Structure 1
Amino acid sequence: MDHPDHLTTAPGAPTPAAPPIAFADLDLPAEVQRTLADRGVHTPFPIQSATLPDALAGRDVLGRGRTGSGKTLAFGLPLLVRTAGRRAEPKQPLALVLVPTRELAQQVTEALTPYADALRLKMATVVGGMSIGRQTAALRDGAEIVVATPGRLHDLIERRACRLGRVRITVLDEADQMCDMGFLPQVTEVLDQVHRDGQRMLFSATLDRDVDQLVRSHLHDPVVHSVDPSAGAVTTMDHHLLVVHGPDRYAVTTEIAARDGRVLLFLDTRHAVDQLTRHLRASGVHAAALHSGKSQPQRTRTLAQFRNGQVTALVATDVAARGLHVDDLDLVVNVDPPTDPKDYLHRAGRTARAGESGTVVTLVLSAQRRETHRLLAEAGIEPTITKVRSGEAELTRITGAKAPSGTPLDGGPAASRPKNSHEPFRGLGTGKGASSRGTGGRSRKATEARKLAEARKAARVRRGN
């Protein structure tokens, strides 16, 4: 994990915090100023105030800020303004934004499209899971701005459908996640192909290890800005460790998901996500699953439904831990505790965005409590620890939990209710390495012991007969 003072090891030194400015004070074209005003955007976020003057001047920029801090306009407006007036040749874009996930690519494209349209610039989104033929056609038609994930961009370069030699502005957004996902070789390959004298902007929530390597080898005398706290330092975010009895995880999770308002629930595996989603929908909760096994159209539709409130419980793997922005999301639940401090911070960063408040809840069994508390301490988090049971007022106070309607949403039978509220949920993940994983909440040894006992009882009965 990095710390703010770690930035002193990067080229350049952090600049002092910029005084508050208005977009009207910046040297932006009238078309951009008008679009900002039309969208009700008047005052820059701190990362924007800090970086926009340098980025508009063509400086290389190294910016640290958590997701939700306003980085997209911080790099997007300079990229568009400095590209305006030029036209791309077929297959040869003029500016590139590289991001780690499909969702973030689409989010960046949506955020910048109004300003690109105002400046008459064409944008193309290049991501996996979508038609490569359409993306090839968009590049062939001469897109000035390309927003891409590293894998798909690499494929298009290999097919000679894209050449980067005319790219004079390159942005790496969420650079630490791209490195964590193993994209460092593709990112380095891209930076080696863009125009040698072009502008590079690197934005990241953390600036450690491989990110340092990218900065040292590919940024030229960058101005360094670190103006936004990590998720652990956000004062509007509350962190809770809820200690649950193992068999009660079923009811606790279901009641939290049935709350009024939206909730994002994280689990470790795609299978666990699908299992929980099916159960929640059978219980009457408007839930949907998001993971890498879903097609891109499915993922896009699910996120749209979560944003507009048709889906109130989004059940996801860590594919949703970065680059996902949802306004007014006030609760994130780690049904499976993360195993890395950075993963916790990225999951937590889905709430309390742009100055709003939010709550992060992690469910732990008694045996997981010490290890999870240690992990949170490494992340700079001091959570409130509470033992809870399903149906208790304390669970409702912290999370808004309530009993689900029990009316299935997709037809079929209602979800079976346990005879008591502490029956285990079959299929719900319980954390990496937990003994109940993959055995419906009962360990393999326990199952084998039960079968052996039943066989012995049957043998005794036979002998008695």
Structure 2
Amino acid sequence: MTTPDFARLGVPPVLISALAPRGIVEPTPIQAATLPDSLSGRDVLGRGRTGSGKTYAFLLPLVARLIAQPRRRVARRPRSLILAPTRELASQLADSLQPLEAATDLRSTVVFGGVGQNPQVKALAGGIDVLVACPGRLLDLMNQGHVDLGAVEITVIDEADHMADMGFLPMVRKILAKTPPKGQRMLFSATLDSGVNKLVKEFLHEPVTHSADPATSAVGTMEHHVLEVSPATRFDVLRDLAAAPGRTIMFTRTKYGAKNLARKLSARGVDAVDLHGNLSQNARTRNLEAFGSGTATTMVCTDIAARGIHVDEVALVVHADPPVEHKAYLHRSGRTARAGESGTVITVQIPEQKRDVSDLMRKAGIRPTHHASVTATSPVLVELAPGERVETHEPRQPEPPVDQARLNGERGGGRGRGGRGGRPAGQGRGDGGASRGEGQGSRGGRRGGQDGQSGRREQVGAGSGSRSGGRGRSGQGRSGGRQGGSSTTYSTSSGERGSGGLASFSSGRGR
């Protein structure tokens, strides 16, 4: 059976023409399944994996409805609403809407937190047809009187299960309660768990349910591998995979881990960027654009990027930290093998994670290929990520050895802030450039605190793999967690205040 084209599904010609330059000429299965009902005004519940074409499955009927019944724009009263769980997804939805908007003379705006609200308020006051929003900022603007949802004719909830995972459902309920009860509503999700089902029963009216793929179909065109590594070789294995040609996404469990792994990879010649909740919106946008354009070949991120981030041609997904839940594994892995392409998914585990990873794979319905005792020189790495490993710039050279005798002679009168207790300048947070004058001593010298106290503290720091020395003012100085003396810690310095002057990544167990 052949898939009907957009015209036979009822999509207006002006919208078909708008998508053609983007190479979108044939509907995907989720689009072919849902468009007849959504274009007719029915409430729709659609399940399809990320990358299946869900975005245009709701954008096409939304725009078609607005142009079929033109209305004058009214300040602060949008005609349609699209809710998205993350800033990145909201921005990408707005980008996907742009060709349809340009072809039909519609006007839209995007609202989310992390940036100033004044431009958003100004756009709303000018009158818009389509509002793309994250729940938190939208509720805030509603409470301030900048948005009135009383004129919304069609509402879309994208990545509904991710909304549930992030705890947004109470906000979503408050927002939907302010939209007209007779408006059309569409909900799209990769999975339909109990939280999403409650939302469906409360706000959708006799929805037509379409499931274009089984819940685990996101892994159908992928190869899955588990590499068992030792804590001492873990980073070198990750570095080798990241240095392979093509785009690679690496996932960590924590924001701290993502930031420091990206910085360590960069110090070792890999063009890497990070993406996590601690970044400003401008930094998140800049890093995602660098990865999408190919300026950066590796993106290290937390689960914030596991859903709704659409970057084509990602050849390799690496779980640097195995996720806790099998749903997170599936959504992370869905960053590769998109639009019919193939992809490779690698989970890196240390021996103590073996049981957890085994349970994770069983729940996800995955039977991966296991590889034991993998090191950076193992042939399997080239088999899984083929190509010459390229260093884009010279790796950072190690710091020269400290002349302890010279430093001891200079203690006592300096202004250096390298750390408390007589610690030499340059061993506090950040490198030597973070202190006020290398070799000018430290606060401990002024107190008469001398080599004995300094030596004791330095030994404690070296033995615990700890916080890189006192409370110096440049950077945040955590050098890899609290693993103990057996962990291996890699670090690179940055003079950027407040952003992690000593960036590090520990090959031991993460925090």
TM over 0.5: yes
CA contact (8 A) 1:232 1:380 kept: no
Residue 25 of structure 2 aligns to a residue in which SS? coil
| Residues 114-193 of structure 1 aligned to structure 2 (within 5 Å) | 114-193=99-178
TM-superposition CA deviations, 1:343-381 (whole Å, max 9, x none): 111101111112111111100012211221111110111
CA contact (8 A) 1:95 1:168 kept: yes
TM-superposition CA deviations, 1:251-296 (whole Å, max 9, x none): 1011111111110001111221121111111111111111111111
Which residue of 2 is the match for residue 372 of structure 1? 357
Looking at structure 2, the residues matched to 368 and 208 of structure 1 have their Cα atoms a distance apart, in angstroms, of 27
Residue 403 to residue 330, structure 1, CA distance change in 2 (3 Å): closer
Looking at structure 2, the residues matched to 333 and 108 of structure 1 have their Cα atoms a distance apart, in angstroms, of 26
Looking at structure 2, the residues matched to 285 and 353 of structure 1 have their Cα atoms a distance apart, in angstroms, of 24
Residue 384 to residue 219, structure 1, CA distance change in 2 (3 Å): same
Q: How many residues align?
A: 409
Shift of 1:88: 2.5
Residue 343 of structure 1 aligns to a residue in which SS? helix
Shift of 1:120: 0.9
Q: Which amino acid aligns with 2:380?
A: E
Q: Does residue 66 of the first structure (1) align with residue 49 of the second (2)?
A: yes
Looking at structure 2, the residues matched to 215 and 408 of structure 1 have their Cα atoms a distance apart, in angstroms, of 54
Residue 38 of structure 2 aligns to a residue in which SS? helix
Larger Rg: 2
Which residue of 1 is the match for residue 345 of structure 2? 360
- Percent identity of paired positions between Structure 1 and Structure 2: 47
Equivalent of residue 44 in structure 1, options 11, 23, 27 = 27
CA contact (8 A) 1:256 1:401 kept: no
Equivalent of residue 400 in structure 1, options 379, 386, 409 = 386
Looking at structure 1, the residues matched to 125 and 61 of structure 2 have their Cα atoms a distance apart, in angstroms, of 25
CA contact (8 A) 2:19 2:99 kept: no
TM (norm. structure 1) is 0.84
Looking at structure 1, the residues matched to 327 and 371 of structure 2 have their Cα atoms a distance apart, in angstroms, of 23
Looking at structure 1, the residues matched to 92 and 151 of structure 2 have their Cα atoms a distance apart, in angstroms, of 25
TM (norm. structure 2) is 0.77
Looking at structure 1, the residues matched to 482 and 113 of structure 2 have their Cα atoms a distance apart, in angstroms, of 38
Residue 244 to residue 194, structure 1, CA distance change in 2 (3 Å): same
TM-superposition CA deviations, 1:412-433 (whole Å, max 9, x none): 63699xxxxxxxxx89xxxxxx
Q: Which amino acid aligns with 2:91?
A: Q
Equivalent of residue 319 in structure 2, options 328, 334, 358 = 334
Residue 255 to residue 223, structure 1, CA distance change in 2 (3 Å): same
CA contact (8 A) 1:106 1:125 kept: yes
Looking at structure 1, the residues matched to 29 and 74 of structure 2 have their Cα atoms a distance apart, in angstroms, of 36
Which residue of 1 is the match for residue 426 of structure 2? none
Looking at structure 1, the residues matched to 32 and 66 of structure 2 have their Cα atoms a distance apart, in angstroms, of 21
CA contact (8 A) 1:100 1:177 kept: yes
CA contact (8 A) 1:75 1:171 kept: yes
Which residue of 2 is the match for residue 443 of structure 1? 483
Equivalent of residue 14 in structure 2, options 13, 23, 31 = 31
CA contact (8 A) 2:34 2:210 kept: yes
Shift of 1:233: 5.5
Residue 324 of structure 2 aligns to a residue in which SS? coil
Residue 345 of structure 2 aligns to a residue in which SS? strand
Which residue of 2 is the match for residue 423 of structure 1? none
TM-superposition CA deviations, 1:3-59 (whole Å, max 9, x none): xxxxxxxxxxxxxxx961111223233321211223222110000000011000000
Residue 211 of structure 1 aligns to a residue in which SS? helix
Looking at structure 2, the residues matched to 94 and 82 of structure 1 have their Cα atoms a distance apart, in angstroms, of 10
CA contact (8 A) 1:255 1:402 kept: no
Which residue of 1 is the match for residue 375 of structure 2? 389
CA contact (8 A) 2:135 2:171 kept: yes
Q: Does residue 277 of the first structure (1) align with residue 317 of the second (2)?
A: no
Looking at structure 2, the residues matched to 275 and 314 of structure 1 have their Cα atoms a distance apart, in angstroms, of 12
Q: Which moved more, 1:188-197 or 1:227-236?
A: 227-236
Q: Supply the RMSD in Å over aligned alpha carbons.
A: 2.1
Q: Gaps (5+ residues) in structure 1?
A: 1-17, 417-425, 428-437, 448-465
Equivalent of residue 253 in structure 1, options 238, 242, 258 = 238
Bigger relative CO (Cα 8 Å, ≥ 6 apart): 1
Looking at structure 1, the residues matched to 249 and 387 of structure 2 have their Cα atoms a distance apart, in angstroms, of 13
Q: Does residue 218 of the first structure (1) align with residue 165 of the second (2)?
A: no
Which residue of 2 is the match for residue 76 of structure 1? 59
Equivalent of residue 228 in structure 1, options 208, 213, 230 = 213
Q: Which amino acid aligns with 1:310?
A: T
Shift of 1:405: 2.9
Shift of 1:406: 8.0
Residue 391 to residue 445, structure 1, CA distance change in 2 (3 Å): closer
Q: Which amino acid aligns with 2:262?
A: T
Which residue of 2 is the match for residue 93 of structure 1? 78
CA contact (8 A) 1:68 1:354 kept: yes
Looking at structure 2, the residues matched to 264 and 401 of structure 1 have their Cα atoms a distance apart, in angstroms, of 17
CA contact (8 A) 2:271 2:392 kept: no
Residue 165 of structure 1 aligns to a residue in which SS? helix
Shift of 1:401: 7.3
